[in-house]
Amino acid sequence: MATLQGILADKQIKSDAESLAVWGKDWTNGFPVAPSAVVFPESNQQVQALVEYALAERVGLVPSGGRTGLSGGAVAGNGEVVVSFDRMNRILDFNPQDRLVTCQAGVITQSLQEYAAEQGLYYPVDFASAGSSQIGGNVATNAGGIKVIRYGLTRDWVAGLRVVTGSGELLDCNAGLVKNATGYDMRHLFVGSEGTLGLICEVDVRLAAQPAPQMVMVLGVPQVVDLLNVLAGFNQRLTLSAFEFFSDLALAKVRAHRELPAPFATPVAYYALLEFDEGSLDAAGEAFEYCVEKGWVVDGVVSQSQAQAAALWQLREGISESIAPFTPYKNDLSVTIQQVPEFLADVDQFVQDSYPDFEVCWYGHIGDGNLHLNILRPQHLSVEEFMAKGHAMSPKIFALVQARRGSISAEHGVGLLKRDFLNYSRSEAEIRLMKGLKELFDPAQILNPGKLLKA
């Protein structure tokens, strides 16, 4: 500990049991938590010094942002030092001509969104945990969220990075340039690398023009395949900002939890939530009438105010919170949009055949093929028994993903939770090359050890 105190002030080091428990994990449950210390660097140079310390002491470093991850990517279970970016939370620069903001990795996502709005601009990457997640973590996991159908992923808004590698080098990647044809763009190696190649310290983020006021429409859809027909029908007539779906079971859970009214008098098997520019209301009305005529939609409601739009969004955004008491076994999966109906039906059939007393709660970003599968724990099973059954189910579910060349982790990352299943989405050749990159950027294997790739 004396070596750490030579790098950082006392206020930047915590080793009490409560702090270790809080900063040593993320939102994932089921993994042991046992860091040796938590440190709070305030500059790129201090991060470099921490890497030098880790190399000398042969200790792992686990980067920690808002700790909202769901794959165990920020869990420290083997005496590692947790590197929290909570104190590296400043906006460093704003370039209005390039619509470019430079911020430290610990800036809260929502804070960046609010800063962009103050400049008359827009940061479009958005998700339920935006109020606590941090930009560095967003980049490390290539965070997606509810606006991907229109604005893309975090990767699409990262114009540059300052990153400290596992050998202590500070790399300045791309420097905010739009065009840079000078070979390998290493910026994109760090996006989605889950802190295994380098510690992200600063991010150049490109901002967008402010969108028009948005309207929200919720539709009742009888069959999964109808969801794709509805998506196509609307896409032909207007530009959507979001296209989400949830099952009637998911709606029942969120309504009970938040005491919300039903959107329609009669329940429907599935619901679609659409967001679009206010100026596209007439086109949305035409699309709605077309879908009703085709039998793809049986009912619908459209927001009449911003307050009502927010209330309709609760039906989708409140689901994860509402099912938490059921200790769900979660899977974050993706296939191509065309394959969604068949894939969803195959998973439902597998769970029904294997565990008929398990409830399956579906929701997600169907507009980009991302499905959130939540299997709810029956009351008669302990958490340990249920999780064991979930782990036994995963390989069979992942095999259904693999057969469609999909992803076993669409947006939550691999971390510890899915590390041993990476081969269901990546070939032997890809994994070998990924390990080679890890060896190149982190030769001593000190950066987020044990995550993403097996040793």
CA distance 393 to 290: 40
Same domain, 301 and 338: no
- Show the tokens assigned to 230: 């509805």
Tens-place pLDDT, residues 20-33: 999 999 988 779 99
Closest CA to 365 of 149, 152, 157: 149
Q: Residue 306: inside a domain, yes or no?
A: yes
Give the full edge-to-edge strand order of the sheet including 240-247. Answer: 299-302, 214-221, 270-277, 240-247, 359-365, 370-376, 329-334
67 touches 74 (CB < 8 A): yes
Give 104-130 pLDDT, tens digit per residue. Answer: 999 999 999 999 999 999 999 998 899
Q: Is the pTM of this model over 0.75?
A: yes
Contact 390, 329 (CB under 8 A): yes
Q: What are phi and psi of 23, to 5 degrees?
A: -85, -5
Based on the fold, state whether residues 71 and 150 are members of the same structural domain: no
CA distance 69 to 129: 9
CA distances to 330, 423, 446 from 394, rounded to whole Å, are 10, 13, 29
Beta pairing class for 81-84 and 91-95 = unpaired
Same domain, 99 and 196: yes
| pLDDT, mean of residues 78-82 | 97
The answer to whether position 453 is within a domain reads no
**Two structure tokens written together for 243:** 């296209």
| Burial (CB count <10 Å: 0-12, 13-18, 19+), residue 402 | middle
Arithmetic mean of pLDDT, 172-196: 97
Q: What is the mean pLDDT of the chain?
A: 96
> How many Cα atoms occupy the beta-carbon half-sphere of 380 within 13 Å?
2
Whether 46 is in a domain gets the answer yes
- Residues 116 and 62 both lie in one domain: no
CB-neighbour burial class of residue 179 (10 A; exposed 0-12, middle 13-18, buried 19+): exposed
CA distance 157 to 447: 25
User: CA triplet 113, 118, 123: central angle to 5 degrees?
Assistant: 25
CB 143 within 8 A of CB 155: no
For residue 142, tell me if it sits in a domain: yes
Using the 3D structure, point to which of 264, 294, 320 is the last residue of a domain: 320
**Looking at the domain assignment, is residue 71 inside a domain?**
yes
User: Where in the sequence is the domain holding 305, given as residue range(s)?
Assistant: 214-320
Where residue 233 sits, what CATH number does that domain have?
A: 3.30.70.2190
Q: What is the pLDDT of residue 30?
A: 79
Q: Give the position of tokens 């619901």.
A: 271
Does residue 427 lie in a domain region?
A: no
| 300 and 220 together in one domain | yes
Q: How confident is the model at residue 128, as a pLDDT?
A: 85
218/284 same-domain check: yes
Crossing angle for the helix pair 340-354 and 383-402, nearest 10 degrees?
Answer: 140
- In the chain, the amino acid numbered 228 is L
- What average pLDDT score do residues 165-170 get? 98
Find the length of the chain: 455
First CA to last CA distance, the chain:
27
Tell me the CATH number at 100. 3.30.465.10
The answer on 346 and 271 residing in a single domain is no
pLDDT of residue 2: 55
CATH of the domain at 349: 3.30.70.2740
- Decide if 160 is inside a domain: yes
- Cα–Cα distances in angstroms (integers) from residue 62 to residues 23, 38, 159, 198, 351, in the given order: 10, 9, 25, 11, 35
Q: What is the pLDDT of residues 309-344, one digit of tens each?
A: 999 999 999 999 999 999 899 899 999 999 999 999
Q: Kindly state whether residues 257 and 362 are assigned to the same domain.
A: no
State how many domains the chain has.
Answer: 4
Looking at residues 82-107, what average pLDDT do you find?
A: 98
Q: What would the mean pLDDT of 436-442 be, rounded to a whole number?
A: 98
Q: Which of 209, 228, 256 is the last residue of a domain?
A: 209
Check whether residue 308 and residue 218 sit in a common domain: yes
439 lies in some domain: no
User: So what's the pLDDT on residue 455?
Assistant: 80
The domain boundary, picked from 84, 105, 122, lies at: 84
Check whether residue 232 and residue 308 sit in a common domain. Answer: yes
Q: How confident is the model at residue 16 (pLDDT cuts 50, 70, 90)?
A: very high
C-alpha–C-alpha distance, residues 268 and 246, integer Å: 11
Closest-CA residue to 453 (of 425, 427, 414, 407): 414
CATH number of the CATH domain containing 45: 3.30.43.10
Give tens-digit pLDDT for 239-253: 999 999 999 999 999
Residues 181 and 106 in one domain: yes
Average pLDDT, stretch 130-145? 95
Convert the pLDDT of each residue in 188-211 to its tens digit.
999 999 999 999 999 999 999 999
Same domain, 295 and 199: no
265-314 pLDDT tens trace: 999 999 999 999 999 999 999 999 999 999 999 999 999 999 999 999 99
